[in-house]
Structure 1
Amino acid sequence: MYLYHFGFSELPFTLTPNTGFYCELQGHEEALQVLSTALKTGEGFIKVTGEVGTGKTILCRKLLNEISNHFVTAYVPNPYLNPNELRHAIAAELGVEYDDEADPHQLTRLIEQKLLEINNSGHSVVLIIDEAQALPTDSLEALRLFSNLETETRKLVQLVMFGQPELDERLATRELRQLRQRIGFSYRLSTLREEELKRYIRHRAKRAGYKGPELFPDEVVSWLHQGSRGVPRLVNLLTHKSLLLAYGNGRHTVTVADIKAAIADTEDATMPKKQDWLWFTIGFAAVCAGMLGLAVSLGWINL
């Protein structure tokens, strides 16, 4: 593996959402600010959406790691659950004790009692659901009913949903309009701009212990941005593959050829369109012609 070849102390571009590699990207920082503001104001429902691979899970884990001690959190990472399974998952997260024979109504009452107990102790409860677009419709309705639980002054539970754009599409339907109207704050994550991408890969390389010369020259970064479309997960995959190629060839810098090969080897990556190649060829030919003309005018070459 290329770990020691490049002087890394650990692999910098894994697909695991490791918060130790968290980079303060504009979109992620704005989303965290929205979440912080919404939680402080006691909003019932908060939603963060973004395309596959834009960093929702690492943002979710960042929130879990840094949330104030004032909040008691319940985290549901796999929400493909029917309403009763969802109640059991929430009860387990909150430490609710119940009999295995408890019916849905009894379990809901026990959860409500636990929420009241936590609120009476001066804390607030936050239910965080990752991949929320996978929630069945009747489970989304069960969540809405949980949001009805409140004292005279505040909600007993706040809900944060992280999901793909399909979640927005589902919430736009008439069937889920009551839930949609409960959402007080929302944020949509975007992909990385080229300058952000450059800062992102430099940050991760440095965090992994790299201290050498520039690993990814600007031209490589440009190709990487086109190939990944600015999606962090694809960025990690393409940089990992290109580093493997550079290592295999005994080089300490990634080349355009490396990144092209990585793009070609990755199904969801985007190879520049044929016309882009045509304009590149025309431009390269024009530069060569200009250099040839300059050489002739200076007498370096006789034609």
Structure 2
Amino acid sequence: MASTLSIYNEHFGLAERPFTLLPDPDFLYWSDSHTRAYAMLEYGMLTHAPITVITGEIGAGKTTLLRHLLRSLPEEFTVGLISNAQGNRGELLHWVLMALGVPTEEGASYVRLFAQFQEFLIEEYASGRRTILIFDEAQNLSTETLEELRMFSNINADKDELIQLVLVGQPELRDLIAQPRLVQFAQRVSAEYHLPAMTAEQVQAYVNHRLAVAGADREIFTPAACECVHQVSGGVPRLVNQICDYAMVYAYTDGARLIDAGIVEQVAADRRMHGNLKMVV
């Protein structure tokens, strides 16, 4: 028996599901804000910025931008990606070395771990490679961890940075960095951008873009439906995806091939009733 999703795709003439919650660079919509955020990431890479910071609300598209960056970086970059790193001073180094593929000895002291880290950076630099550490969900880092990261950024060779740091997180990350204790860290941030929510016009373009990537060759969401999606999602891409995905299921079960504001309003009402989706209205 065919799955609901495959039938829903067939019903709308789509090759794949357009509104999944997984960060997929193939569906990346280049709004003005996402273009600027990505330009800031590239600027940080090209100018050897010691620390680059990108922030945005949950579901704003930060991780998707990171995925696109990782696919686009030249081969001479060595990248370590750390998500939700937590713990004390020594544990951070374990996270970092693991992300860089550096084996560590069980029970090794902090001094030994740091020496391994330094040796790795020097070897990469000598080989003509640049090392980048990317921290996703960086708002979960402590002030002590951020201060340790600042010390990492002090490792250099003459005028060249041996390591660059990219921190991506929710708006709380900006508040964390603004603390008086982290003034030296803030001074090392050379590239920074905050991703705002999408406007109503951007939501409509975003919805139509994802549908086109999935194979749509006609209008599926009316302009009024897109306006309603913006109202109930606040312009946050992940919420837009949730609402649109539900709306397509509702339309499929009703036999409708065009999604209007009424269907979106029904989705919003049902989600609020069951508490499964936090709407912005």
* TM-score computed with the length of structure 1 as normaliser: 0.86
Deviation (angstroms), 1:184:
0.8
Tell me what 2:242 maps to: 237
Separation in 2 of the partners of 1:33 and 1:131? 20
| Counterpart residue identity of residue 29, structure 2 | C
Note closer, same or farther for the CA distance 1:224–1:9 as it changes in structure 2 (3 Å cut).
same
Opposite residue 185 of structure 1, the aligned amino acid is: A
Inter-partner Cα distance in structure 2 for 1:256 and 1:93: 46
Query: What is the alpha-carbon distance in structure 1 between the residues aligned to residue 39 and residue 175 of structure 2?
Result: 24
Provide the secondary structure at the position in 1 that maps to 2:85.
coil
Give the structure 1 partner of residue 199 of structure 2.
Answer: 193
Q: Does 1:180 align with 2:186?
A: yes
Structure 2 alignment gaps of length 5 or more: none
Which of 92, 112, 127 is matched with 2:98 structurally?
A: 92
Rounded to whole Å, the distance in 2 between the matches of 1:98 and 1:163 is 28
Q: Matched residues in 2 for 1:161 and 1:98: separation?
A: 24
What whole-Å deviation, never above 9, does each CA across 1:223-266 have from its counterpart, x for those lacking one? 11111111101100110111111111001011211100122214
Output the CA distance in 2 between the equivalents of 1:214 and 1:10.
16
Stretch deviating more after TM superposition (3-12 or 225-234) = 3-12
How many percent identity over aligned positions? 35
1:22-44: CA deviation from partner (whole Å, max 9, x where unpaired)? 11221111111111112111110
Q: Does the Cα contact within 8 Å between 1:86 and 1:139 map onto a contact in 2? A: yes
Which residue matches 2:169?
163
1:254 to 243, 246, 259: 259
How many residues of Structure 1 are paired with residues of Structure 2 in the alignment? 270
Distance in 2, Cα, partners of 1:32 & 1:92: 26
For structure 1, which runs of at least 5 residues remain unmatched after alignment? 272-303
Equivalent-residue separation in structure 1 for 2:101 and 2:249 (angstroms): 46
Native 8 Å contact 2:55 2:194 kept in 1: yes
Q: Which amino acid aligns with 1:268?
A: K
Partner of 2:130: 124
Displacement of 1:93: 2.2
CA RMSD of the aligned region, Å? 1.3
TM-score between both structures, scaled by the size of structure 2: 0.92
Match for residue 17 of structure 2 among 1, 11, 20: 11
Task: Give the secondary-structure state (helix, strand or coil) at the position aligned to 2:192.
Answer: strand
- Match of 2:51? 45
1:23 to 25, 29, 37: 29
2-structure distance, mates of 1:113, 1:237: 46
Q: Does residue 1:152 correspond to 2:158, yes or no?
A: yes
Aligned amino acid, residue 91 of structure 1: L
User: Contact (CA 8 Å) 1:246, 1:255: kept in 2 or not?
Assistant: no
Q: CA deviation at 1:201?
A: 0.8
1:268 alignment counterpart:
278
